[in-house]
Structure 1
Amino acid sequence: MANVTLASNLANDPRRFGRVALVHEWLVTYAGSEKVVEQILQLFPQADLYSVVDFFPESQRGVLGGRHATTSFIQHLPRARKSFRSYLPLMPLAIEQFDLSSYDLVISSSHAVAKGVLTGPHQVHVSYVHSPIRYAWDLQHQYLSEAGLQRGAKSWIARALLHYMRIWDQRTAHGVDAYVANSAFVGRRIRKAYGSDATVIYPPVNVERFELCEQHQDFYLIASRMVPYKRIPLIVEAFAAMPSRRLVVIGDGVDFARVKACATPNVTILGYQPDDVLVDYMQRARAFVVAAEEDFGISVVEAQACGTPVIALGRGGSREIVVDSPDPERGTGLFFAEQSVASIVDAVERFERQPPLKAEVCRRNAMRFSEERFKHEFLAVVERAMDAEKGFTEVPAVARRWHSA
């Protein structure tokens, strides 16, 4: 804790970092990327905040230090509050309109366009990348399929817009001085999309707020937004094929009707639940089930912080969070290979056959992802970037002698 307090004091020293701007895509809900913003603002409390739109709930604005972001013209367009994502083609233009020329350090929290802000050679730009624009890069075909845009005129318009987004995204990649990836999985995406290496710093998770529970009940749990890539209906279908296994589903979203249609008597669908209810179920569950290819997976960490093992798809960020081992002294869960009913069923049955995994081992693994660790590692990257900029812009001694001669 002492290291983090010292780090915060250093970050708040204007002589060390000068004026600081923090740029985030959009401020609408308090989710994973906003938790990163919260921690960066705690680390740099003097920072000014910028966002394409800011519709953040006033009741939760304390996590932003009470700030209201400087916003773009999209904030004032028709139906922006409910449909701001439909203005994605305008967001590259919007993000470039922020005048950040007076700042010494610019930090972007980016999963779409934030890293594209304009900075000059005298400024340092550190970008924390949650992911390159998924729907414009490796997941384009998946998103077009889920949106029903595989054929026809609308499909070609969408493909042209995504092509434009890729060109813009790759071109603006050169304006970043230091990339930070939220997982090694995303780091590989950054390398493929931008041709740059990234330092991996896992997102901050408030693991301390979860209590260890060693007495788990006889039900499995999935808690997630019900959007297509999360594959919640697939998990429900798998448990429908295992009538002796109970599943509790918490969450809401566009796939809610599909999830409800798949449910059988052994599946309980609770819909959206407040945080205290979610944590209670997470602590009591036999295991937490995840079928999405996650960039990281904060809920996977939170489940383990409760002492709850995780059954997850063996791709993406989950591979960096879950220890797949039947050894109770090491293991915190297990992986399944495919997004299929058969693969999930096989994983659950393997989990039932192996020795019980220890709650304290799961929690110890989760402690690797604390907020304190995030602050310490992120500040170290910023300091290195600032030192590198000073070394680059400082006139070498030989050159000074030549000019003075």
Structure 2
Amino acid sequence: MTAQAPKIAIVCDFLTMMGGAENVVLAMHEAFPSAPIYTAIYNKDKLPQFHELDVRPSRLQKIPKKLRKYYKLFPTMAVKAMRNLDLSEFDIIITSSYLHGHQITKSRPNQLVINYCHTPPRYYWSHYDLYRQDPGYGKLNPLIRPLMPLMIPHQRKLDYDAAQNVDVFIANSTETQERIKKYYDRTSTVLHPPVDIKRFTPARERGNHYVTLGRQLPNKRFDLAVEACSRLGVKLKVFGNGPLHDKLVAKAGPTIEFYTDRFGDASDSEVEKALNTARGFVFPSDEDFGIVAVEALAAGAPVIGYAAAGTRDIVQDGISGVMFEHQTVNDVVRAIEKSQKMTFLPGTLARKAKRFERQMFIDKLRRIIAQEAAKQR
């Protein structure tokens, strides 16, 4: 008589817009198709990819729709909502977290909680000082900034306590692995997130343009890419939008082009076209991992990247791109100039992206879950 398969649930922070963390949740569901997905707030209108899935939002979903877009202003409410989720029917709970997805409560001691950690919350730990300068709430910043020193110590305690109740940590990069050890004093296994590299077709003949891509927030440092390419007089295609967009436009020289419509000039197909022929991808951010850097390699574009955080797992300096040591315009300028003197073969770069394929993530995740479940028997 075979043992009954364990019942599995997937829990994530929010499902409000499509991004890297949401792609991870989709891959988790592909690995375990019968697992329902629990989340604090679900915006069905923005996530057609989840329409056929069993998504179960927390009680925060009852907040009036107009207020839901301010969900990040209610961190303690989100923690309480996650802790009140009824997960008693499940044997294994896989959490995907960069904020509060791991803040769940075990119903019984033999439940297994496995946390896929994108990063310990940057707001509370690694990037607190940066967010204190610019919390990223636009016009609400003057209101939020003085509240942070009053709120963050309590949020750190809640976060740390929740981390101690996790049975197994999986980190999305060596950078996140180091943060998990530093802030939670826990060990972890590295499993890089899945990347849909098959959507790219690298052109053998490259264009004369560079690309940078993402939500325009303070920590992304798109200003460095814009200023460096403006100074060099090279063409830069900037895809994305965000609170700093107007400031970036003001800094830009005549060779900088902005594409902001997610369903128009900045659609997936337009990004693919630009990357497939790009001379290089400028990546000045210190991302926890950096899926867009993998996508650039898959499209045959060398990465001009900041030599820190998750980029260290992706880019080999002088082989798949050029790394720079400091987040300054001068460093980015020198890195672009260095890359222009080097030869990068698009096919070779695309092959280097294959180690981040989606199926590899799914296979490794299944293996980790099976091994940990076997230990519980």
Partner residue in 1 for 2:310: 317
Alignment of 1:215-364 (within 5 A): 215-243=205-233, 245-272=234-261, 273-325=266-318, 331-354=319-342, 356-364=343-351
Distance 1:340 1:381 in 2: 40
Paired residue for 1:159? 149
Aligned with 1:216: secondary structure?
Answer: coil
* Structure 1 position 177, deviation (Å): 1.1
Normalised by the length of structure 2, the TM-score is: 0.93
Tell me, in whole angstroms, the C-alpha distance in 2 between the residues paired with 1:148 and 1:117. Answer: 27
The 1-side partners of 2:329 and 2:104 are apart by 43
Query: Any idea what the Cα deviations from partners look like across 1:6-53, whole Å, max 9, x if unmatched?
Result: xxxxxxx99232x21111111011210111110111111111211100
- Which of 343, 365, 370 matches 2:352? 365
Choose which of 166, 173, 186 in structure 2 pairs with 1:196: 186
User: Is residue 44–residue 50 contact of structure 2 (8 Å, CA) maintained in 1?
Assistant: no
Paired letter, 1:238:
A
Equivalent residue for 2:375? 388
Mapped pair 1:26 → 2:14: yes
Matched to 2:256, the amino acid is: V
1:3 is matched with none
1:212 deviates by 2.4
Deviation at 1:316, TM superposition (A): 0.7
2:40 match: secondary structure: strand
Distance 1:336 1:269 in 2: 24
User: Per the alignment, in what secondary structure is the counterpart of residue 339 of structure 1?
Assistant: coil
Matching of residues 8-27 of structure 1 within 5 Å: 15-17=4-6, 19-27=7-15
**Does the 8 Å contact 2:173/2:190 carry over to 1?**
yes
Choose the corresponding residue for 2:27, options 39, 53, 60: 39
Structure 1 residues 303 and 221, CA, compared in 2 at 3 Å: closer, same or farther? same
| Counterparts of 2:3 and 2:132, CA distance in 1 | 46
Contact 1:74 1:80 in 2 (8 A): no
Match of 1:94 among 81, 100, 106: 81
What amino acid does structure 1 have at the position aligned with 2:182?
K
What is the alpha-carbon distance in structure 2 between the residues aligned to residue 29 and residue 153 of structure 1? 25
Q: Which residue of 2 aligns with 1:375?
A: 362
Q: What is the SS of the residue equivalent to 1:382?
A: helix
Partner of 2:204: 214
The answer to whether structure 1 residue 205 and structure 2 residue 195 are counterparts is yes
Residue 162 (structure 2) aligned to one of 154, 172, 180: 172
- Displacement, 1:73? 2.4
More helix by share: 1
1:332-371 CA-partner distances (Å, limit 9, x unpaired) = 10101111111111111111123x1111110111000001
Superposed CA deviations along residues 163-187 of structure 1, whole A, max 9, x for unmatched, are 1111111111121111101001101
* 3-state SS, counterpart of residue 375 of structure 1: helix
Per-residue CA deviation, residues 249-294 of structure 1 (Å, 9 max, x unaligned), is 1111111101110111111122231110110001111000001001
Kept in 2, the 8 Å contact 1:111–1:131? The answer is yes
% same residue: 28
* Counterpart in the other structure of 1:393: none
- Between Structure 1 and Structure 2, whose CA radius of gyration is higher? 1
SS of residue matched to 2:350: helix
Quote how far apart the aligned CAs of 1:154 are: 5.8
Q: 1:241 to 1:202 in 2, by over 3 A?
A: same
Partner of 2:13, secondary structure, is: strand
3-state SS of 1:205 partner: coil
1:71 matched to 2:61? The reply is: no
1:194-220 Cα distance to aligned partner (Å, 9 max, x none): 111111000001111211211111111
Describe the SS at the equivalent of 1:180. strand
Provide the secondary structure at the position in 2 that maps to 1:334. Answer: strand
Shift of 1:228: 1.2
Deviations 1:285-325 (A, max 9, x none): 10000010011111111111111111000001011101112
- Distance (whole Å) between structure 2 residues aligned to residue 221 and residue 148 of structure 1: 24
Partner AA of 1:321 in structure 2: I
Inter-partner Cα distance in structure 2 for 1:153 and 1:225: 22
Pair 1:298–1:14, CA change in 2 (3 A): farther
- State the TM-score, normalized to the length of structure 1: 0.87
* Helix, strand or coil at the partner of 1:222: strand
How many angstroms does 1:234 deviate by?
2.1
Displacement, 1:54?
Answer: 0.5
State whether residues 211 and 237 of structure 2, in contact with CA within 8 Å, keep that contact through their aligned partners in structure 1. Answer: yes
